Amino acid sequence: MSTQKDIEEPSYLDYKGKYRGIFSWILSTDHKRIALLYLFSILAFFATGATLGLLMKFELIAPGKTIMTAQTYNAFFTLHGIIMIFAVVIPGLPAVFGNFLLPIMIGAKDVAFPRLNLLSWYFYVMGVSLVLISQFTGQGPPDTGWTFYAPYSFRTTGNMLPAVFGAFVLGFSSILTGLNFLVTIHRMRAPGMKWLKMPLFPWTLYATGWIQLLATPIIGITLLMIIAEKTLHIGFFDPALGGDPILYQHLFWTYSHPAVYIMILPAMGAISEIISTFSHKTLFGYNFMVASSLAIAFVGYFVWGHHMFTSGMSSTALYAFSLLTFLVAIPSAIKVFNWIATMHKGSIDLQTPFYWAMGFIFVFMIGGFSGLILGSLATNIHLHNTHFVLAHFHFIVFGGTGFAFFGAMHYWYPKMTGKMYDSRWANIGLFLFLTGFIVLYGTMFYLGYKGMPRRYYDYDEIFHTGNIISTMGSWVLYSGLGIIIINLFASLKSGAKAPSNPWGGKTLEWSVPSPPPVENFKEIPVVTKGPYSYK
């Protein structure tokens, strides 16, 4: 299948190993095949979560009951949140594009621990299966929200334990991936690839790896504590047993805030690659980009309290957390400035991935600015737990990570599949998606400002118009999404063959054939120049 005549090695897609058929995939330790395993599982769960989202939005088109009961709605946003957070955006970029590209971008033949890598995919599948099992067993699906706040989570009859345990197993998957990447980056860079010659995407995976390794165990312990409390009645969190519900919130957010950076850092890395490649220009302020990635990972540990401004923490804690929240915004702002500066005096090739990068910058800025509004104490007290927050985090995680994911998809698609896609349909899809996105979530800022709380099945008449508009936005977003995905699948069959470097990129993955051979490099390259050397 490979396009270069001088290469005889079969691509990773054609390679015949010990196993045949499906087993050649689910027993493969090739980082590229594992990446595709992740890609297809994540796409399937994304489709599930997105369908739940669409149905919830339909329910909200009018006050009162439209298509489902309150019980179903509550179960839907719980499942939607768990799937989207733990099974889609946390593993998203690292597990798919990190797995596929990290070894190639640093000039290695695989990750440091290929079997561990496969194991983490199995943990992933087990974790999600547990979450799905919780839906159909016991006394009804869990209805606590993805945050499992105590003490409600101890009162509900919903089947919470398997879901919590599922999230725990998913955490393990995440830890293993992080560990694997850290060791790979430390030990397996090609000769000559000094730390500061490494492209940005591996750098952000490196920062992410540390968060996965250090923060995820906290949620692991917390979830275990819930399980112990529910089964053995040890009072950690439930006041009825002498526990403290606020302790639960602290533990939960000590992980879940840094987790936001697990989602967004690799996204920023991918966007940096795209912008440099299509501007045909070296990344502006490379050192500052590296430093700001590490700064985000570090400061991100100290702001969890901003999720709890109304819970009655001490005044000192409140303003310390508020101040730190404003500071964590700075490294992100630095990144935006550097991306835009990279375009200055570039020679910009307007291809689909670059449009996604522009879309990313735009929605990410909106998400970030709304984060400032939420980080400020006086405004937080009004906006906390309203649709404003819902809009904010969809702009950051769906707008940020989601746009970067689709951008990365269109950027590395030729490398991964060996095919080109139809860019006209891809652009139409993107246009609809972006429009729908802004209508769907932009309206939620307004609804939240007016006072509509989140996790609301039913609402006051004053919120009706906003909800109608928002729901219509979800339809537009969906048509865009459909076009994008169908186009990518159709191009697998009908797309033209991809050359090894369709976009003129400078990083190492563009020096190997598309799709890459099993061992990536015939000969490990020796790196002498920086990652984006166009000179």
Partner 1 sequence: MYSTTGIEASNYVSTFNTAFYFITGVSLLLLVGLTFTMLYFVFRYNKKKNLVATQIEGNTFLEILWTVIPIILSLVMFYFGWAGWKPTTRPPKDAMNITSVARMWSFLFVYENGKQSPELIVPVNTPIKINLVSMDVIHSLFIPDFRIKADIIPGREKFMWFLPQIEGKYKIFCAEYCGLQHSSMHSTVNVMSQEKFKAWYAESAKVAAVGENAGPGAAGEAIMRAQGCFACHTPDGTKLIGPSYLNLYGTQQVVLREGKEITVTVDPEYIKRSILEPNADITKGFPANLMQSYRSTLSDDDIAKIIEYLKSLNDK
What residues numbered 67-86 form the site for ligand HEM, per CB under 6 A?
77-78, 80-81, 84-85
Taking CB under 8 A as the criterion, the residue among 10, 217, 346, 442 binding partner 1 is 346
Taking CB under 8 A as the criterion, the residue among 460, 482, 486, 529 binding partner 1 is 460
Q: How far is the CB of 454 from ligand HEM (least distance, A)?
A: 4
Contacted entry of partner 1, ligand HEM, Cu ion, none for residue 257, CB cut-off 5 to 8 Å set by kind? Cu ion
Contacted entry of partner 1, ligand HEM, Cu ion, none for residue 116, CB cut-off 5 to 8 Å set by kind? none
Q: Report CA 64 to chain centroid distance, whole Å.
A: 33
- Of 109 and 230, which has the nearer Cβ to partner 1? 230
Q: Does 496 bind partner 1 (CB under 8 A)?
A: no
- Of 170 and 295, which has the nearer Cβ to ligand HEM? 170
- Of 253 and 456, which has the nearer Cβ to ligand HEM? 456
Q: Rule CB under 5 A: which of 234-263 touch Cu ion?
A: 257
- Of 54 and 428, which has the nearer Cβ to ligand HEM? 54
Taking CB under 8 A as the criterion, the residue among 190, 336, 428, 524 binding partner 1 is 336
Contacted entry of ligand HEM, Cu ion, partner 1, none for residue 390, CB cut-off 5 to 8 Å set by kind? ligand HEM
Structure tokens at 402: 């989601």
501 phi and psi, to 5 degrees?
-135, 75
Structure tokens at 56: 């919830």
- Tell me, residue by residue from 144 to 163, as one string, x for binding to ligand HEM by CB under 6 A and - for no binding: -xxx----------------
Q: How many CB atoms lie within 10 A of CB 465?
A: 12
Give the span between the Cα atoms of 102 and 437, in whole angstroms. Answer: 30
Give the span between the Cα atoms of 507 and 241, in whole angstroms. Answer: 57
Q: Rule CB under 6 A: which of 433-462 touch ligand HEM?
A: 454-456
Q: Is 512 exposed, middle or buried (0-12, 13-18, 19+ CB in 10 A)?
A: buried
- Of 199 and 375, which has the nearer Cβ to partner 1? 375
Q: Residue 517 pairs with which residues in a beta bridge?
A: 11
In sequence order, what are the residues at sequence separation of 6 or more whose Cβ sits closer than 8 angstroms to the Cβ of residue 23?
none
- Tell me, residue by residue from 228 to 247, as one string, x for binding to partner 1 by CB under 8 A and - for no binding: -----------xx---xxx-
Q: Rule CB under 8 A: which of 117-156 touch partner 1?
A: 143-145, 149, 151-152, 154-156
Q: Rule CB under 5 A: which of 257-316 touch Cu ion?
A: 257
Q: Rule CB under 8 A: which of 51-70 touch partner 1?
A: 70
Give the span between the Cα atoms of 268 and 281, in whole angstroms. Answer: 17
Task: Give me the amino acid identity at 340.
Answer: I
Structure tokens at 328: 């964590």
- Asked if 267 contacts 516 with a C-beta cutoff of 8 angstroms, the reply is no
Give the span between the Cα atoms of 67 and 315, in whole angstroms. Answer: 44
Number of residues that make up the chain: 535
- Tell me, residue by residue from 375 to 414, as one string, x for binding to ligand HEM by CB under 6 A and - for no binding: ---------------x---x--xx---x------------
- Of 113 and 152, which has the nearer Cβ to partner 1? 152
Helix (H, G, I), strand (E, B) or coil at 346: coil
- Asked if 116 contacts 177 with a C-beta cutoff of 8 angstroms, the reply is no
Q: How far is the CB of 23 from Cu ion (least distance, A)?
A: 42
Contacted entry of partner 1, Cu ion, ligand HEM, none for residue 57, CB cut-off 5 to 8 Å set by kind? ligand HEM
- Of 168 and 286, which has the nearer Cβ to partner 1? 286
Q: How far is the CB of 33 from partner 1 (least distance, A)?
A: 36
Helix (H, G, I), strand (E, B) or coil at 497: strand
- Of 474 and 507, which has the nearer Cβ to ligand HEM? 474
Q: How far is the CB of 263 from partner 1 (least distance, A)?
A: 22
Q: How far is the CB of 162 from partner 1 (least distance, A)?
A: 18
Q: Rule CB under 6 A: which of 13-72 touch ligand HEM?
A: 50, 53-54, 56-57
Q: How far is the CB of 312 from ligand HEM (least distance, A)?
A: 21
Taking CB under 8 A as the criterion, the residue among 55, 296, 343, 426 binding partner 1 is 343
Taking CB under 8 A as the criterion, the residue among 22, 115, 187, 287 binding partner 1 is 287
| SS3 per residue for 389-444 | HHHHHHHHHHHHHHHHHHHHHHHHHHHHHCECCCHHHHHHHHHHHHHHHHHHHHHH
Q: Where are the alpha helices (DSSP H) in 84-140?
A: 92-93, 99-105, 114-136
Q: What does the buried/exposed string (b/e) look like for 486-506 if buried means 16 or more CB atoms within 10 Å of the residue's CB? A: ebbeebeeebeebebbbbebb
In sequence order, what are the residues at sequence separation of 6 or more whose Cβ sits closer than 8 angstroms to the Cβ of residue 492?
417, 419
* Separation in Å, CA 267 to CA 293, 404, 450: 11, 5, 32
Give the span between the Cα atoms of 433 and 436, in whole angstroms. Answer: 5
Q: Which residues in this chain contact ligand HEM in the complex, by CB under 6 A?
A: 50, 53-54, 56-57, 77-78, 80-81, 84-85, 88-89, 145-147, 390, 394, 397-398, 402, 454-456, 474
